[in-house]
Amino acid sequence: MKKNSLGKSGIEVSCIGLGTMTFGEQNTEEEAFAQMDCALAAGVTLFDTAEMYPVPPQEKTFTKSEQMIGKWMKQRKCREGLVLATKIVGPTVTSRAMGGYIRDGKNHLSSENINKALEGSLSRLGTDTIDLYQIHWPDRNVNIFGQRGFTSPQDEDPENAEISETLETLEKLRKAGKIRAFGISNETPWGVMCYLSLAENNGWERVVSIQNPYNLLNRSFESGLAEITYQESVGLLAYSPLAFGMLSGKYLDGLKPARARLTLFSRFQRYQTKNALKATREYVLLAQENALDPAQMALAFVRTRPFTASVLLGATSVKQLESNLESAELELSAEVLDAIDEIHNRIPNPCP
């Protein structure tokens, strides 16, 4: 499987990574182990998790995904050769909605909280070093997880940590050998440039990755972030590449597959708008007309963008994962790419 570099960190990641946010909720430990075995055998080296996982987040399952990965690595004795990535939760409305059970709800990205969170992740994962430590979302009000509109900085929580404190803390942890590199997630163009300029001005290491949503129903990353991250070598780790599974076509015509995310959880409505369903139907038809699997076509599109470092796959079965992993070798024809853009131009970003 092809590998891509993350900036100048010396870290290379497989072009497809394994997302693990189903581990502990939709997937049992046995099922999670089977998925990780499958991914490793296929050449996947990037395993991505978070202290918050599984999703939907709740106190009784908090950190279960990390625990399962740690147990699997210990049993399989396979830590060496993996690029292990995890994340620290951010504050704002999202974490308050979780009920305040994470560090008593005081989740600002301060030095104290980052150190506490990292020590917890290191312990659960059973490792001395995290290869890629990521900020799950910013310590300020931004449009994430389908939010729209603009909130004035005057409405910010006065306890929000400055990006400078967050980045300096990450740099100290890197120098201490507890993390190899750091990345950001659910960030904006302004946020990315702040991280980069602070690093340059202070002689710190730069962020090497950004984990944001990117798929055929949400190509908003291309407006602003794509140019910045490509020019500055900040690799995209694309999450939701199938738009919660919508782009597989399995939810069309009102279908509700057993154990599927949108069947189980009513909170995931972001990719079920009228225009999203319309666009999805056209992408699925395009794939079928070209003898392609709809999910593999959607994943291959994301993988082959010049700013993408890795595509993060999430699955609920080994069979689903195996099929999606086959997209690593799929190259889309110029005709298919043109047709994708034609659909996008008529129904642009129905789910930003």
Q: Is the pLDDT of residue 92 over 70?
A: no
Q: Measured between alpha carbons, how far is residue 202 from residues 79, 115, 173, 186, 272 in Å?
A: 33, 21, 16, 24, 44
Which residues, listed in sequence order, are joined to residue 179 by a DSSP beta bridge?
A: 130
- The catalytically annotated residue of 53, 239, 251, 271 is 53
Mean pLDDT score, 159-176: 96
Confidence of residue 152 (pLDDT cuts 50, 70, 90): confident
Q: Is the pLDDT of residue 96 over 60?
A: no
Share of the chain above pLDDT 90, in %: 81
Around Cβ 300, how many Cβ atoms within 10 Å? 22
Q: Is the pLDDT of residue 76 over 90?
A: yes
> What average pLDDT is seen over the chain?
93
- Report yes or no on 73 lying in a domain: yes
Residues 106-119: tens digit of each pLDDT: 789 999 999 999 99
- Structural contact between residues 52 and 86, judged by C-beta atoms closer than 8 angstroms: no
- Report yes or no on 292 lying in a domain: no
Share of the chain above pLDDT 70, in %: 96
Tally of domains in the chain: 1
53 catalytic residue (yes or no): yes
pLDDT, residue 46, reads 98
Q: Taking the CA atoms of the chain, what radius of gyration do you get in angstroms?
A: 19
- Structural contact between residues 202 and 154, judged by C-beta atoms closer than 8 angstroms: no
- Report yes or no on 293 lying in a domain: no
Q: Is the pLDDT of residue 160 over 70?
A: yes
- Report yes or no on 203 lying in a domain: yes
Q: Is the pLDDT of residue 56 over 80?
A: yes
> What CA–CA distance (Å, rounded) separates 134 from 182?
6
Residues 231-255: tens digit of each pLDDT: 999 999 999 999 999 999 998 987 7
- Report yes or no on 285 lying in a domain: no
> What CA–CA distance (Å, rounded) separates 341 from 305?
13
Residues 169-224: tens digit of each pLDDT: 999 999 999 999 999 999 999 999 999 999 999 999 999 999 999 999 999 999 99
> What CA–CA distance (Å, rounded) separates 247 from 264?
18
* Residue of 135, 110, 109 lying closest to 188 (CA atoms): 135
Q: For residue 158, is the peptide bond before it cis, meaning its omega torsion is within 30 degrees of 0? A: no
- Report yes or no on 12 lying in a domain: yes
Residues 241-296: tens digit of each pLDDT: 999 999 999 989 877 877 777 766 766 678 889 999 999 999 999 999 999 999 99
Mean pLDDT score, 141-169: 83
- Report yes or no on 174 lying in a domain: yes
**Residue 79: burial class (beta carbons within 10 Å; 0-12, 13-18, 19+):** middle
* Residue of 147, 33, 129, 21 lying closest to 82 (CA atoms): 129
- Report yes or no on 251 lying in a domain: no
Indicate which CATH number applies to the domain containing 310: 3.20.20.100
Sign of CA pseudo-dihedral 262, 307, 234, 323: positive
Residue span of the structural domain in which 130 resides: 3-243+302-330
φ/ψ of residue 83, rounded to 5: -105, 105
pLDDT, residue 154, reads 66
